[in-house]
Structure 1
Amino acid sequence: MTAEPASDDRLLAGRYALREVLGRGGMGVVWLATDLRLERPVAVKEVTFALHLSDEERRLLRERTMREARTAARLDHPSVTSVYDVVEEDGRPWLVMELVQARSLQEVIDGQGPLPWPAVARIGLDVLAGLTAAHEAGVVHRDVKPANVLVADDGRACLTDFGIATATGDPTITTTGAIIGSPSYMAPERANGQPPGPAVDLWSLGATLWTALEGHPAFARGEPMATLMAVVTEEAPPAPHAGPLEPVLRGLLTKDPAQRTTAQQACRQLQAALDEAQPAPWSPGPAARQPEPPQQVDEVRQDRVERIDAADLRALVAASATVLGTVARDARDQARHLAERRRERRAQATAREEAAAQESAAAQEQAVARERAAAQERERAVAARADQRPRFRFRRRWVVVPVLVVLLVVLAVVAGLVVLAGYLLGWS
């Protein structure tokens, strides 16, 4: 026996009653629905395509979405939103997913601004765990960004929209020549048409963590092509709030995918940072926030899906090559200038060291001379005392001896008188 839909509910595939809209994005609408057969709440993603896409692009994206959604449905991990079912109705894919009571990381950032680094590290570990499970299953998400990371009340995070990524960010150029995705979180190799691999998700994760730490995307420039140009040609700016996570961000945002930090390395670094800290309790609940300046608001919106024509992409690659060539020449000139400065500093340091050595030698010589003079002075003083000591003893002897002689004479006289007196008085 199955539950009955309400009279005003839309019934999808004869099973899923769509209740209300939970959210809207660049490539779809998320509905709160009820699975009438299993009598449980679910989230249903209605995948929609932009009006400017051709019929061939729509067909390709629809087929890829269905294929990737079925692949994602095989994933079973606590850090991945489960895909229960995928159906096609009205010419559009509909994905039936686990309903997670959580807010997107983008909503949390919009509400709180920059998040504390321990909370970002915990979110990063959870998303890494989900990505690792997906990559081991042969699934590349291709659209990791704050809007696709759900954060629960206890701070745990999970990755959602598996299967949608192909529709919103397939890095291959379609038959009509277009690349679709969120420029602020696209890996730079996607602009070069390289086949997508796990490394693209890791770069997007690094950009996502950077946004969570600083409150705005690292490469947002207000316009999609300018943003993608920054992703390809510029290094990520410093993240003042990153704390011990700065090496993780630098490794994940490495331009060369071969040199990029791996999921295992990033996991070890994040866990080590958490083990050495004592993070305070944190919750993604609503919090008051000051209004953002207009530029920052525009930057926050850079996670929306954009379509970039192949001609624009080729122009971007050519411009980036020109920029990189100029940067390389400037880097060579700068390196030559720095080398000359280093040689000058070394020469100056050598001269200072020699002068200091000479001063030290002179000081030592002066100290030795002073010590030698003091020793000679001490020797003269000892000699003088040695010369004076015998004369002093000679004078003392000639004073003491007469006194003793006089005393002896006096004693003898006294003794004689005593004896004489005794004789006279008849003592004897």
Structure 2
Amino acid sequence: MRGQTVGGRYRLESVLGRGGMATVWLAEDQLLGRWVALKRGNGETLNEARAAARLSHPGVVRVLDLVADGDRPWIVLEALSGRTLADAIRELGPLPVDRVRRIGLCLLDVLEAVHAAGLVHRDVKPGNVQLCADGRVVLFDFGIALFPGHTAEAPDGFFQGSPAFVSPEQLHGAALEPSTDLFSLGATLYAAVEGRSPFDRGDLFATVLAVSEATPAPFRHAGPLQPVIEGLLRVDPGERWTVTRTREALQAQSLYSGRGRRARA
């Protein structure tokens, strides 16, 4: 598909990433002379575009356009610099504690805006967090987000989300509240500071059981972040730490940026 023009305007250049249901391309906007990201959609594309378009926050990827080309819709998004948090973990291993603390504060601000708009993201994970060259921490992929007037029901036999990062209530099919994103945030921060998922056991059944019981792998590098992450990973949503409590704890910590290995995102 490289070189194909979508919507009479966007020329596909290279693949930025592939997910379970979509491919994201770097493309040139030939009308305005800029680079954008194009996500080839599916039946949920319009809902995803609507969900992300509800938000205006530097930590949320911007939706620029929605175009139809052939039988598939495409979402046009801002092209983000840098790399995903998942890529940073894969390349560098555990990130420095203070860097993870700052990433956590950025994501709390983003989730506060997401929840204030009536949305639940439902897929917060390192692969959906971009560490931009300009210092922004950006949450993207609202493909399975819940928002008013949309139930985002999965097809029969199909689970929406990433098992190693979803909340216990998400696994059980319970009604989801903003607290479900905070559990996923805890799992994401654990992965960033420990260099691995807290619940991935290499087997789907064992992973699901670990999430259901909220029993993360042992902490080795988290230091003062451990109680914060444990507060976010509580099984009972009513006991889980809130955005406010988590932010206060992260802001109050006196951490050294040199702790652990330095990482550049």
So what's the TM-score if we normalise by structure 1? Answer: 0.57
1:222 has 2:202 as partner: yes
- What is the CA-CA distance between 1:105 and the residue it aligns to? 0.5
1:143 has 2:123 as partner: yes
Q: 2:167 aligns with which of 179, 182, 187?
A: 187
1:293-312 residue pairs with structure 2 within 5 A? none
Preserved CA contact (<8 Å) 1:72 1:83: yes
- What is the CA-CA distance between 1:175 and the residue it aligns to? 5.6
Moved more, 91-100 or 171-180: 171-180
Structure 2 distance, partners of 1:263, 1:185, is 18
Q: Deviations over 1:284-334 (max 9, x none)?
A: 25xxxxxxxxxxxxxxxxxxxxxxxxxxxxxxxxxxxxxxxxxxxxxxxxx
- What is the CA-CA distance between 1:260 and the residue it aligns to? 0.7
Structure 1 distance, partners of 2:83, 2:155, is 37
Q: Which residue of 2 aligns with 1:11?
A: 5
1:248 has 2:228 as partner: yes
1:304-323 residue pairs with structure 2 within 5 A? none
Structure 1 distance, partners of 2:200, 2:81, is 30
- What is the CA-CA distance between 1:234 and the residue it aligns to? 4.4
- What is the CA-CA distance between 1:69 and the residue it aligns to? 1.6
Preserved CA contact (<8 Å) 1:13 1:87: yes
Q: 1:24 aligns with which of 18, 23, 39?
A: 18
Preserved CA contact (<8 Å) 1:171 1:193: no
1:119 has 2:99 as partner: yes
Structure 1 distance, partners of 2:96, 2:136, is 14
Q: Which residue of 2 aligns with 1:165?
A: 144
Q: Flag structure 1 segments of 5+ consecutive residues without an equivalent.
A: 1-7, 49-61, 286-428
Preserved CA contact (<8 Å) 2:100 2:193: yes
Identity %: 45
1:202 has 2:196 as partner: no
Q: 2:238 aligns with which of 244, 258, 283?
A: 258
Where 2:12 maps in the other structure, the secondary structure is: strand
Structure 2 distance, partners of 1:230, 1:278, is 32
Where 2:210 maps in the other structure, the secondary structure is: helix
Moved more, 114-123 or 30-39: 30-39
1:87 has 2:81 as partner: no
Preserved CA contact (<8 Å) 1:123 1:155: no
Preserved CA contact (<8 Å) 1:210 1:249: yes
Q: Deviations over 1:241-295 (max 9, x none)?
A: 111111110111011111111111111111112xx2342394425xxxxxxxxxx
1:38 has 2:32 as partner: yes
Structure 2 distance, partners of 1:30, 1:175, is 22
Where 1:241 maps in the other structure, the secondary structure is: coil
Q: CA RMSD in A?
A: 2.3
- What is the CA-CA distance between 1:86 and the residue it aligns to? 2.4
Go from structure 1 to structure 2 and tell me whether the alpha carbon gap of 1:100 and 1:174 turns closer, same or farther (over 3 Å shift).
closer
Structure 1 distance, partners of 2:153, 2:141, is 21
Preserved CA contact (<8 Å) 2:52 2:61: no
1:75 has 2:55 as partner: yes
Where 1:260 maps in the other structure, the secondary structure is: coil
Q: Give the letter for the 1:121 counterpart.
A: R
Go from structure 1 to structure 2 and tell me whether the alpha carbon gap of 1:13 and 1:145 turns closer, same or farther (over 3 Å shift).
same
Q: Give the letter for the 1:36 counterpart.
A: Q
Where 1:26 maps in the other structure, the secondary structure is: coil
Greater share of helix: 1
Go from structure 1 to structure 2 and tell me whether the alpha carbon gap of 1:182 and 1:32 turns closer, same or farther (over 3 Å shift).
same
Preserved CA contact (<8 Å) 1:172 1:193: no
Q: Give the letter for the 1:111 counterpart.
A: E
Q: Give the letter for the 2:26 counterpart.
A: L
Q: 1:277 aligns with which of 232, 255, 258?
A: 255
Q: Give the letter for the 1:255 counterpart.
A: V
Where 1:30 maps in the other structure, the secondary structure is: strand
Q: Give the letter for the 1:277 counterpart.
A: L
Structure 2 distance, partners of 1:32, 1:123, is 25
- What is the CA-CA distance between 1:195 and the residue it aligns to? 1.9
Structure 2 distance, partners of 1:92, 1:140, is 26
So what's the TM-score if we normalise by structure 2? Answer: 0.89
Structure 2 distance, partners of 1:161, 1:103, is 15
Preserved CA contact (<8 Å) 1:184 1:218: yes
